Amino acid sequence: MIPLSHYLLLSAVIFSVGVVGVMTRRNAIVVFMCIELMLNSVNLTLVAFSSYLGDATGQMLVFFVMVVAAAEAAVGLAIVISLFRNKQTVNIDDINILKW
Amino acid sequence: MYSLVPLITLFPLLGFLANGFFGRKIKNEKIVGSLSTIAVTLSFIVAAAIFIEMLGFPVEERKHVVSLFTWISAGTLATNVAYQVDQLSILMTLIVTGVGSLIHLYSIGYMHGDRGYWRFFTYMNLFIFMMLNLVLADNYLLMFLGWEGVGLCSYLLIGFWYERNFEKSTTSEAAKKAFIVNRIGDFGFLIGLFLMFVTFGSLNYDSVFLQAAGLEKGNSVIMWMTLFMFLGSTGKSAQIPLYVWLPDAMAGPTPVSALIHAATMVTAGIYMVARSSILYALAPTTMEVIAVIGLLTAFFAGTIGIVQNDIKKVLAYSTVSQLGYMFLGCGVGAFAGGLFHVMTHAFFKALLFLGSGAVIHAMHEEQDIQKMGGLQKYMPWTYKTFLVGALAISGFPFLSGFFSKDEILWKSFANGSAAYWVIGIIAAGITAFYMFRLVSLTFLGSERFDPHHVHPHEAPKTMLIPLIVLGVLSLIGGFVGIPHVLGGSNAFEEFLEPVFTAANDKMLLPFHDAPGVEISLMLVSVVVGLFGMYAGWKIYTEKRQIADTAARKFPLLYNLLLNKYKIDELYDAVIVTPIKQTSDKFLWKIFDVKIIDDALNVSAKTIDKTAGVFRKIQNGVVQNYAVVFVAGILFVIGWLIAR
Amino acid sequence: MTFEQIVFYSLAVVTIFSSIMVVVQRNPVNSALYLILDFFCLGGLYLTLNAQFIAIVHILVYAGAIMVLFVFVIMLLNLGDTHKLADRLNMKKIIGIAFGLAFFVELLYLLGFGTTRSISQQSPAAPEIGTIEYIGKVLFTKFLFPFEVTSFLLLAAIIGAVILAKKKIIH
């Protein structure tokens, strides 16, 4: 049998990789993908706990996380499109309008 | 009837509001003027009705307090807006509303055609309202409100023709001077009130006077309290050292000079001293100070009056001098005598001012008496009434001024000292002299104006009626207070005496029953007065060379008097200039700029620089925020682990 | 090694590899493709956890919908040019990697000292929980209200996405 901690370890690895991606990549879309990666690692944790503890709540939460992820992806990509239209770039170093 | 007291103040307030809000839109001068005049007249009628009712009551039941509403209630300070009707306040109310309504009537004609017609009557009604609050209040706080209110109206009305020039500067400068000098006095008054509140825990007349009656004579706290309050009086009533504003206050329209700066407002100081008589009775030192200051003011202001050439200036110094008499009366414990003079002075001085207004009007705004003369035949009624006023102020036997002035002089001799009387009598002679100099130069002698440009004419009816009424009052006003030695009953003093009973009990004035002395002193004063009148008349109608020779022989004295003892210059050099210099050189250029501003600027710059450092964090790049975000998570988790 | 273990570890290795490739790949199209691989592996992992419904929905939503959207946007914006966005090693990257490692170490520490080590067996109820029937029952009873609320969230997202991505905003 596979102990729970292995699932959690796997999840931690994926999450950390996602964090590094968010902090290092300059392409906004790749940053987005990394965020999806992190969300998925959390989902894995939730499903693992659900199965190991015999509680359906974890899987419900995964369900809602997916909804949020879908919504976030739609809105986020729309933002990227409109940014690209205005700035001709998706390089987030060049997008510094989030001040003042 | 007593419950109608609020109406007395209500009418002028309504007049003030009506003219203040709608006066500009009402183009008709008659409506604006009559509205104000009727408002004050209605107040007078109500006051007169209350007065008549009061006479019907027994003496003990004449005092009533009508409370309107709670004004301030904070801790132990509880003050109502309440009006106290007693002999003293009803007397002052009658003077204020009576003379006030006559002067309002006069103003309808005098202010005719003025740009600020409605403004004038608005201020006048506000003044009447404030003055009535001052005299009717049942506590010192409301009195102080009125006190400040009349000061404000005085300021507004002195500077009424704010665009005009006055002497070496402008009317607004004169207004500012009046206001600031009054502020100095008010400051003293306020300190006196603070002391009173600390000492008695109340500012209500009843409460304060009741507690004061239980105190010993010569209490030092009371002495300081009364001295500070008297400082307020010297400001409001133009006594040494704060009299300097009153001559400049003549920059205002003449009815204002008559109402505010002769008949009513300037007597507020005497009213306050009389109202607080019990407090002053406890402080013999203060009483002496009052008597001496009153006497000195009466004398010195009179001497200045001798050489002035502006018709209103002469009257202004005369007012200062007469106010000095009133204080002399109060200072020697003759409060009733002082108030008697307040009343008669209100009649004849208002009359003289209104008469001078008619003259100025007729002479096309000319105020220099050297350029007048011979006006008798052009304005006979003005001349007659003016002459009555001059006779009354000079103490011509059996006119109003004679009785009141003599009362004060006799009391100053009996209760004070012979020196008071001697100086007082000299001042009375001076008064008679300069008043008849004024009459002679204005109405008698040769015509010194340019007949081609100036066509003197008699004043219109609205101006003449008040003159005649006041003339009659100046003639017979004194008969309410005929002293016992002349076979009278001194009804005036008897009427007022209950207000001063407590004070008299404290002062324990010796009772003088020396009719022989009184009669002979009276005769002396009559002779001095008549001599002054004759000299003034003779010199300035026929023997001008005497005056000119005197001026040439004593140039130093003459110039000193002409320049009003250079008191203004002295104040300017000793007080005003140093304050200005300190304000400019130190307070502004060093304290304000270097210390206050720099402290502000330096702190602002420090914050700006510090913020500049932190600002760089906020660079708008989302990724950097994410890094900080992660660092925060790292820290939190690390802290949780390490805990 | 049981079959179960073989499946888990091989899926785990592929998942980690593809995750790293998502971050490392210069071309965003490649990143997206690796991410899809990643999602398939995760779907497999869900199956090993007896969460059949979640596994299917995961594949449908992520691989089928979200990733299509990503690839679509990449193509639309023509971001295939790798030189333009070439990432060089710089201070920011070093800090990012250091922070990521530190974060991982902290997670490891928490895992090593947590209570989860003692659980080594799936719950006997696990196969039942993962079924569509069970999930539907729970979803429409206990979680009915949040479920309905998600519809508002999705509606808001649709409207927001349309408005943001529109060519010109009508004033």
Name all domains of chain A by residue range, CATH numbers in brackets. 27-87 (1.10.287.3510)
Radius of gyration of chain C (CA): 21
Last residue of a domain, one of B554, B586, B601: B554
CA nearest neighbour of A32 among C40, C64, C67: C67
- B620 to chain A, any CB pair closer than 8 A? The answer is yes
- pLDDT attached to residue C168: 63
User: Nearest Cβ partner of C103 from B623, B634, B641?
Assistant: B634
Answer yes or no: do B591 and B524 share one domain: no
Q: Which residue would you say has higher pLDDT here, C145 or B169?
A: C145
> Are B227 and B257 in contact, with CB atoms under 8 Å apart?
no
Which pLDDT score, from 0 to 100, does residue A85 have? 83
**Closest B-chain CA to A99:** B620
CB within 8 Å: B627 and C110: no
Question: Is B74 in CB contact (< 8 Å) with chain A?
Answer: no
Query: What's the whole-number mean pLDDT along residues B336-356?
Result: 93
Checking if the pLDDT of B151 tops 90, the result is yes
B623 contacts in chain A (CB < 8 Å): 22-23, 26, 31, 92-93
Q: Say how many residues make up chain C.
A: 171
Residue B461 lies in a domain: yes
C82 has pLDDT over 70: no
Name the CATH code of domain C3-81+125-165 (choices 3.30.465.10, 3.30.470.20, 1.20.120.1200, 3.30.1950.10).
Answer: 1.20.120.1200
* Residue pointed to by tokens 């015999």: A54
Residue of chain A nearest C2, judged by CA positions: A1
Q: What is the pLDDT of residue C85?
A: 47
Q: Are residues B467 and B607 in the same domain?
A: no
C105 interfaces chain A, CB cutoff of 8 Å: no
CB distance C126–A90 less than 8 Å?
Answer: no
Q: Read off the pLDDT of residues B76-118 as tens digits, 9 standing for 90 and up.
A: 888 899 999 999 999 999 999 999 999 999 999 898 888 889 9
Sign of CA dihedral B452, B458, B461, B462: positive
Is residue B520 domain-shared with residue B581, that is, in the same domain? no
Q: Is residue B209 part of a domain?
A: no
Given a cut of 90, is residue B124 above it in pLDDT? yes
**What digits encode the pLDDT tens for the residues B542-552?**
888 888 888 88
Q: How many CB atoms lie within 10 A of CB B380?
A: 12
Other Cβ atoms less than 10 A from the Cβ of B489: the count is 12
The answer on B632 and B540 residing in a single domain is no
For the stretch B178-188, pLDDT in tens is 999 999 999 99
> Do residues B289 and B396 both lie within one domain?
yes
A50/C161 Cβ within 8 A: no
The answer to the question of residue B494 being in a domain is: yes
CB of B487 closer than 8 Å to CB of B264: no
Q: Let me know if residue B448 belongs to a domain.
A: yes
How many angstroms away from the CA of B16 is the closest CA of chain A?
55
Which residues on neighbouring strands pair with residue B137, listed in sequence order? Answer: B83
- The per-residue pLDDT for C80 is 57
> Cβ contact (<8 Å) for B623 and A22?
yes
Looking at the fold, whether B462 and B529 belong to one and the same domain comes out as: yes
Q: Which residue of B has its CA nearest to C114?
A: B641
Residue B388 lies in a domain: yes
Among partner residues C16, C66, C121, which is closest to A36 by beta-carbon distance? C66
- In this predicted model, which residue has the larger pLDDT, B555 or C17? C17
Contact residues on chain B for C109, CB-CB shorter than 8 A:
641
With 70 as the cut, is the pLDDT of residue B221 above it?
Answer: yes
| Nearest chain B residue to C103, by CA | B634
B627:C106 CB<8 A: no
How confident is residue B608, by pLDDT bands cut at 50, 70 and 90?
very high
Q: How far is CA B308 from CA B251, B305, B320, B364, B562, in A?
A: 15, 5, 14, 20, 6
Chains touching C (3+ CB pairs < 8 Å): A, B
The residue behind tokens 């003459």 is B558
Residues B377 and B307 in one domain: yes
Residue C1 has pLDDT above 80, yes or no: no
* pLDDT less than 70: residues of chain A: 98-100
Determine contact: C19 vs chain A, CB below 8 A.
Answer: yes
Residue B565: left if φ>0, alpha if ψ -120 to 50, beta else—which one? left
**In which residue are the tokens 């770039």 written?**
A89
| pLDDT averaged over every residue in chain C | 85
Among B254, B320, B267, CA closest to B564: B320
pLDDT tens, residue by residue, B548-587: 888 888 888 888 888 888 888 888 888 888 988 998 888 8
Cα gap B238→B234, rounded to integer Å: 5
Q: Which residues of A touch C80 (CB under 8 A)?
A: none
Query: What pLDDT band is residue C83 in, cutting at 50, 70 and 90?
Result: low
Q: Do A88 and C83 touch, CB atoms closer than 8 A?
A: no
| Lowest-pLDDT choice from B227-241, B477-491, C96-110 | B477-491
Residue of A17, A51, A70 with shortest CB distance to C123: A51
All residues of chain B having their beta carbon less than 8 Å from the beta carbon of residue C92 are: 623, 627
Q: Tokens standing for B639?
A: 């802290």
Is residue B504 in some structural domain?
Answer: yes
Total domains present in chain B: 2
Portion of chain B with pLDDT greater than 70, in percent: 100
| Mean pLDDT along residues C111-128 | 79
| Residue B626 predicted with pLDDT over 60 | yes
pLDDT at C84 over 60: no
Distance CA B632, CA B629 (A): 5
| Residues B131-154, mean pLDDT to the nearest whole number | 94
B497 and B581 co-located in one domain? no
Inter-chain touch C103–B623, beta carbons under 8 Å? no
Record: contact C129-A75, CB cut-off 8 A: no
Element (H, E) at C47: helix C28-48
Mean pLDDT of chain B: 89
Nearest in space to B298 (alpha carbons), one of B203, B179, B412 = B412
Q: How far is C114 from chain B (nearest CA, A)?
A: 11
B524 occurs within a structural domain:
yes
Interchain contact, B626 vs A97, CB within 8 Å = no
How many Cα atoms occupy the beta-carbon half-sphere of B245 within 13 Å? 30
Chain B interface mutation, best of C87, C92, C106, C107, highest count of B Cβ atoms under 10 Å: C106
What whole-number distance in Å separates Cα of residue B350 and Cα of residue B391? 14
Query: What's residue B28's pLDDT?
Result: 86
Q: State the residue range of the domain holding B310.
A: 219-235+270-554
Domain boundaries, chain C: 3-81+125-165
Which chains pack against A, by 3+ Cβ pairs within 8 A? B, C
Cβ contact B623–A98 (<8 Å) = no
Q: How far apart are CA C25 and CA C80, in angstroms?
A: 12
Q: Averaged over C165-169, what is the pLDDT? A: 69
Q: CA angle, corner C20, sides to C18 and C26, nearest 5? A: 100
pLDDT in tens, B393-437: 998 888 998 999 988 998 898 888 889 999 999 999 999 999 999
What's the one-letter identity of residue B248?
A: D
Measured CA to CA in angstroms, residue B82 lies from B5, B87, B190, B335, B510 at distances of 10, 16, 20, 24, 36
Give, for B430, the enclosing helix (H) or strand (E).
helix B418-443
